[in-house]
Amino acid sequence: KAGVTQTPRYLIKTRGQQVTLSCSPISGHRSVSWYQQTPGQGLQFLFEYFSETQRNKGNFPGRFSGRQFSNSRSEMNVSTLELGDSALYLCASSRQSQSSYNSPLHFGNGTRLTVT
Amino acid sequence: QKEVEQNSGPLSVPEGAIASLNCTYSDRGSQSFFWYRQYSGKSPELIMSIYSNGDKEDGRFTAQLNKASQYVSLLIRDSQPSDSATYLCAAYTGKLIFGQGTTLQVKP
């Protein structure tokens, strides 16, 4: 069974640009969550999508947005990139929504974004 | 106060010893707790989940939960060098919140 697939693996962008990251969940999983991981802040929750609806959102500015398609694939967009957005962006899928508190997350390998 | 707190370490133990990793959480309403392991340069992978007070054992791993003290721990028995990684504690508080992680080093 294929795992969570994230593309691209690496990205280098310039301040002010925008970027779109893609995530394909495990087959049958309908929830996709996005996390930002940095050495200083650890893993921080961005948002969760379930059945094409945003279910929950973390404390990130509106420059961070996402969407989910009918096949459960998800994209995350960051506009007007800042140096501080350099991080590993991890996507995780689960069979049920995070509100089903016993549904563990399965992570992809992440997209390493560098903003210069 | 962070919602989920862990000592960043590093925690260093000799091969064959018991490694004890601890985590506290601030939201008394948290219903479920997870331990993830993350090797350097890799993504987190689920090791254990625990939902009720007490101990839960899976092979060399034991998760312990004490909701009254808002405390979760992970014990790794017979630690191996391959256990060297960062261990992330996560609590469900309406969304899954992760601690900063504890780096474990198992020395041969």
Express each pLDDT in A21-75 by its tens digit: 999 999 999 999 999 999 888 899 999 999 999 998 999 999 999 999 999 999 9
Reported confidence tier of residue B94, pLDDT bands at 50, 70, 90: confident
| B45 contacts in chain A (CB < 8 Å) | 107
- pLDDT at residue A99 greater than cutoff 70: no
Chain A residues touching chain B at CB-CB below 8 Å: 33, 35, 42-45, 48, 56, 58, 90, 98-99, 101-102, 104-110
Q: Give the gap in angstroms from C-alpha B13 to the nearest C-alpha of chain A.
A: 23
Contact yes or no for B43 and A110 at CB 8 A: yes
- pLDDT at residue A1 greater than cutoff 90: no
Question: In this structure, are residues B108 and B12 in contact, taking their beta carbons and an 8 Å threshold?
Answer: no
Q: Is B93 on the interface with A (CB under 8 A)?
A: no
Q: Give the gap in angstroms from C-alpha A34 to the nearest C-alpha of chain B.
A: 11
Reported confidence tier of residue B1, pLDDT bands at 50, 70, 90: low
Q: Of B43, B47, B49, B52, which to mutate for an interface test with A (greatest number of A Cβ within 10 Å)? A: B43
The token duo for B65 is 């939960």
Contact yes or no for B96 and A110 at CB 8 A: no
List the strands of the sheet with A64-68, edge to edge. A5-7, A19-24, A74-78, A64-68
User: What is the rounded distance in angstroms from the CA atom of residue B11 to the CA atom of residue B19?
Assistant: 8
| B3 contacts in chain A (CB < 8 Å) | none
Q: What is the pLDDT of residue A4?
A: 96
Q: Which of A98, A107, A110 sits opposite B95 (nearest CB)?
A: A98
Q: What is the pLDDT of residue B104?
A: 97
Q: Give the gap in angstroms from C-alpha B43 to the nearest C-alpha of chain A.
A: 5
User: What is the rounded distance in angstroms from the CA atom of residue A7 to the CA atom of residue B39?
Assistant: 20
Residue-wise pLDDT for B57-91, tens only, equals 999 999 999 999 999 999 999 999 999 999 999 99
Cβ atoms < 10 Å from Cβ of A26: 18
Residue-wise pLDDT for B8-47, tens only, equals 889 999 999 999 999 999 999 888 999 999 999 899 999 9
Q: Give the gap in angstroms from C-alpha B1 to the nearest C-alpha of chain A.
A: 13
Contact yes or no for A106 and B46 at CB 8 A: yes
- pLDDT at residue A97 greater than cutoff 80: no
- Residue A22 neighbours by CB under 8 Å, 6+ apart: A6, A7, A73, A74, A75
